[in-house]
Amino acid sequence: MKTQLAEEISGALLDECYELTLSELCRACELPAEEVLALVEEGVIEPLGQGRTQWRFSGICVRRVRRVRNLKRDLGVNLPGAALAIELLEEIEHLQAQLRRFEEQL
């Protein structure tokens, strides 16, 4: 059941405007709230709204949280290292997209 919910949410998150509560994000990423809160404190994800009960997370947060979870699990990276890796991976993706656009113009 847990995995089915995570798959449903990830399928629905194609729209960046989609927002989840803290508990929905925890279920979608299969992480306890304490780990998600640590990601907020580290600056990996940024909630919208005031106070934890009103927090909303964009669809991008699901991707970032899952990436951090995988880095920690698969490579044993600590949270600050995972946060840095996420920034670098996203920068690489951004540069690759720019390169593709540039190559299409040629």
How would residue 5 be classed by pLDDT, with cut points 50, 70 and 90? low
- Kindly report the CATH number assigned to the domain that includes residue 7: 1.10.1660.10
The model's confidence at residue 93, banded by pLDDT at 50, 70 and 90, is: very high
Residue 43 φ/ψ, nearest 5 degrees: 85, 10
Indicate the number of domains in the chain. Answer: 1
Domain that holds residue 81: 2-105
Rounded distance between C-alpha atoms, residue 47 and residue 39, angstroms: 10
The reported pTM is: 0.76
pLDDT in tens, 38-79: 999 999 999 999 888 899 999 889 999 999 999 999 999 999
